[in-house]
Amino acid sequence: MELGLAGKTVIVTGGGSNIGRSIVLAFAREGSNIVNAELDEKQGQKVVDEANSLGGQAILVKTDVTDGDSVQAMVKKTLKRFGKIDVLVNNVGGAAGVGLFVEKPKEECEKDVNLNFWSVVNCIRAVAGHMIERRYGKIVNIGSVSGQSGLAGSHVSLYGGAKGAVMSLSKTLAWELGGYGININVVCPGMTLPETLENVGERSVWKKWAWNVYTPELREAAAKSVPLQRLGSAQDIANMVVFLASDCASYVTGQTISVSGGQTMW
């Protein structure tokens, strides 16, 4: 299927590690112009170099998506470099840590909400005016099965709650912005582990704590709980993202799509 993404300008937040990395590389293979809006400059540039070797035109813009001014500056640099923004992928996210809701420090709770919800608000607000003016835009937000059903959410409740808020926001904005030719959808991964820690940066939750939490025994048990009997790969998520970002999905908006091997089926 020809996706028609060659020459499209795509912003991917947090495109340095795991899912974000695969999304950047997937757009590169399509010949897109890509801005990797990443706080980890070293890891982000590594992915940009790889994307450029695959046929894309990628640049790194150091960005703190929880800071509205930083996001606005990134969008200005994108427009200066490529002249337009066709696609925004709000990929940044992750749990600040695991723990019972009543025991989580306030700082961790705020970090979960800022990283997983306010980052999305900041980025959509920064590109919406441009997309409205052009009467064209594709926004793909990365959710989580934890936000859909509370699945595996007993120790990451604020993370799941913030992802649920992203899904609700996406649906209401799909109504609000649909008349301007803007499609907004959510992709919800199930458990999606990096193939190797070489594919993640130092700021990633996988480096900080998650890799050690998901022991081989836990991974095996988790895979058995999935109808397709395997855990997800970052490429599985990227495949859905590039489809939703393309005009092949021009009549799809306001949808939450689970890419979880069947963990959620509604």
Pairwise CA distance, residues 31 & 33, whole Å: 7
Q: Which two tokens stand for residue 49?
A: 């170099």
180 in active site: no
- DSSP-derived secondary structure for 42-94: HHHHHHHHHHHHTT-EEEEEE--TT-HHHHHHHHHHHHHHHS---EEEE----
Pairwise CA distance, residues 189 & 22, whole Å: 13
Instruction: Using DSSP bridges, classify how beta strands 57-62 and 182-189 pair: parallel, antiparallel or unpaired.
Output: unpaired
61: part of which helix (H) or strand (E)? strand 57-62
For residue 108, the one-letter residue type is E
Task: Tell me the β-bridge partners of 59.
Answer: 35
Q: Which of 159, 180, 214, 251 is catalytic?
A: 159
* Residues belonging to the active site: 159
